[in-house]
Structure 1
């Protein structure tokens, strides 16, 4: 816009017209070239405008209407997640989340695995290879919209330790038995546990023909998604991962409630018959500010992993972030498969651009730097992986940090940022879109931002 204004003023009049239009093209040049907070000023324009529109329209505040019931089948979530619908699969008993706007159907699977960092390097390499095969399997059908890996830290109520002691312990009244029982009673509620889930989202647009063949609508989509579910479970078992039972409405209700209201997580764990209704699992109140989010009993902040490691790292490089203790956080890795033909075209385009740029640099006598060579080697490695049967995916990493107060939240965010530096990651705090980012980072719904 600045160039167009400058050229029109130059050809339409003399230098005086350039002076009159200087505020327009000078402001455009400033927005284009001057950075603010790590991004060019022009990149902040849509974020700020969208935030102001939502602020003026009252979209940054949510309150549950207790008297007015919600329509049946909805998830009672705020924001753009209010359109999500639940569908109970009659064959598997799994709850499927339907997004009518994005045309996706999502199912959630809990996964358990041994401690990766405690394995020897050969076992780690074997598991990494197996996980690569899982991702390649998800790319081949062309019907998967997203695969989300969500790893959460949850407060431990101590029920698991108490149950283990009741089943395997010997409570003979001795001093050792009494001391051990007292230790379990004290340490159990103060501990934390890790939970990992995989969320598989079916692209109903890409699979429209197969869905019509299977009966159409949600029933046809569920039939098609069951095929992908079977394929995923088989691939996970081949990769030495232990898939659990697919999420039921009760499991999803507990996950949503504990994300928005961490203060009741222990009660939900101890009292298995309370807080399991999906229709009431959403938050009671949500207040969104520029750089944080407040829900029922906690303050939240979402960090975006803007830069992944630029050099070769060990398979367990995320350990400083994932194993940070004393911090309530959720790490979400959203994997978006790219079709093989599109990935091949993108790789050919990148190779052509690099070869032409290298020839131009050689012609003008410019020296090749290490960053350009590393980028070209990365493109060649992607081409080799695609040829050998692996898939090409686009990764988005988000970290949601939660705390009871704002001071504790800022301390936890600083600790996560330092842990990310140890993991060779660059994190940036999202602003103007914390509510939308929270649904992606902390909820197992395989959404995008």
Structure 2
């Protein structure tokens, strides 16, 4: 008798606030609107109240209204930052072929969405170590292989082992963030087909060689190239050698989780991943190995030119659009539920899952605060005669489940899902985005475009740097 299939149920997106679901800025805007309205009412009566509507009306709307699932007060910092960066020219960048600072010791990554350069050194194990002095972390990238990062097998043992790996992350004080990056791209013309076309199809080629070339040309080229890596960000110590023992421990832990560990990625391989994230179309059309060697010699790991608009990011010969997975499936789903989004062929797509371990005391404090907020909201609804809806009860059940898991010894992790779609031009990007949104719908996930912050979103979603964005 076979074992029942393993299922999982995700909690709802937390939308609690300080009072009645309103955040601090929203309450401040509503309070200011009420103060203005009451003051003008007492001072000048109804005519004064109506005249002051030009002040308290926008404040009330800013505190209560929402646009595309985000409050108006939540949009203000995004829109303000976008217009500020556009005014100072930060949305357009042009990089030199050689950075003179790179010759003074190690390499420097200058990437859109990151304000400070990231030094890259090579550890004693050969791993490329990316330092971020702003966040105080050192990031290394581990090449792994699995069943399409679905981590699923017939008995569910791989999934259970990976769950134990994630639980172990919460017990480590050195690990700040772990990123699972799964990139898919059309394989297109493989190296063997390209070599045969260049060297064995001339006018003087024998008939068998030309027949083989015709067969290769007619062969199906819709296969998909899949790349899966794990990026882990450690707390930065006094020297990079401090993280060397942690690299071996983390690799052993991942291997115990059912993945085949291929080794830590060095600077050259990291350069290839960077170039593919920014310029995959040119790499495939011109021969990716040649283009990557040229980029490595020139010291250009990121894009040569960047033009960020409100909804897309253009880099070199490609355009990108990044999404946030704002809602996970609300019903119980199988462990392979992401397969439509991860393995759909025919598009350049990167799916990233970022896990941030929460210390026990921080997780317990957040749960206590959430319970207090829920009880306060429930009491306020009872006093005002409002009916408690099913969404509030579901959120209370999610908080209770988190608390039970924490008491039972399980760790608490904050997850962020990001998706980046890449195409050669804007028309192709529109079609690819539609296909991606349809694939996400089949996986019962909701995607929200990260407008106004596409550069930072692409860096977090498409690059193996284990960086957060939200």
TM over 0.5, yes or no? yes
Deviations 1:93-140, CA, capped at 9 Å, x for gaps: 111111111211111111101357796542xx3222111111111111
Give aligned pairs, total.
Answer: 421
Contact 2:119/2:132 (<8 A) preserved? yes
The match for 2:80 is: 49
Name the CA distance, whole Å, in 1 between partners of 2:419 and 2:146: 21
Residues 205-260 of structure 1 deviation map (CA, whole Å, 9 limit, x = unaligned)? xxxxxx3xxxx2xx2xx333223322221221112111111110001110111111
Aligned: 1:440 with 2:464:
no
Q: Counterparts in 2 of 1:295-306, with a 5 A limit?
A: 295-306=315-326
Deviates more, 1:178-187 or 1:344-353: 178-187
- Confirm whether residue 428 of structure 1 aligns to residue 448 of structure 2: yes
The question of 1:383 aligning with 2:403 is answered: yes
Give 3-state SS (helix, strand or coil) of 1:275's partner: helix
Q: State yes or no: 1:309 paired with 2:329.
A: yes
Change (3 A) 1:100 1:76: same
Structure 1 residue 191 corresponds to structure 2 residue 223: yes
Gaps of 5+ in 2: 1-31, 196-206
Which of 247, 257, 274 aligns to 1:229? It is 247
Matching residue within 290, 295, 313 for 1:293: 313
What SS does structure 1 have at the residue aligned with 2:178?
strand
- For residue 158 of structure 1, the aligned residue among 190, 194, 204 is 190
**Aligned residues of 1:260 and 1:298 also touching (Cα < 8 A):** yes
C-alpha displacement at 1:335, in angstroms? 1.1
Distance 1:235 1:187, change over 3 A: farther
TM-score by length of 2: 0.80
Pick closer, same or farther for the CA change 1:258–1:187 going to 2, 3 Å.
farther
- Residue 88 of structure 1 and its aligned partner are, at CA, apart by 1.5
Q: Aligned residue for 1:244? A: 262
1 CA distance for matches of 2:276 and 2:361? 41
Q: Which residue is equivalent to 2:279? A: 261
Normalising by structure 1, what TM-score? 0.84
1:49-95 CA distances to partner (integer Å, 9 max, x unpaired)? 11111111111111123476454421132342552111221x21111
- Provide closer, same or farther for how the CA distance between residues 34 and 112 of structure 1 changes in structure 2, counting only shifts above 3 A: same
Cα offset, 1:296, TM superposition? 0.9
Distance 1:2 1:361 in 2: 22
State the SS of the aligned residue for 1:96: strand
Counting only pairs closer than 5 Å after superposition, residues 31-430 of structure 1 correspond to structure 2 as 31-66=62-97, 69-72=100-103, 73-80=107-114, 82-89=116-123, 91-115=124-148, 121-122=154-155, 125-156=156-187, 157-159=189-191, 187=219, 191-204=223-236, 211=237, 216=238, 219=239, 222-266=240-284, 267-269=287-289, 273-277=293-297, 279-354=299-374, 369-430=389-450
Partner of 1:317, secondary structure, is: coil
Deviation at 1:279, TM superposition (A): 2.6
Counterpart Cα distance in 1 of 2:258 and 2:209: 36
RMSD of aligned C-alpha atoms?
3.1
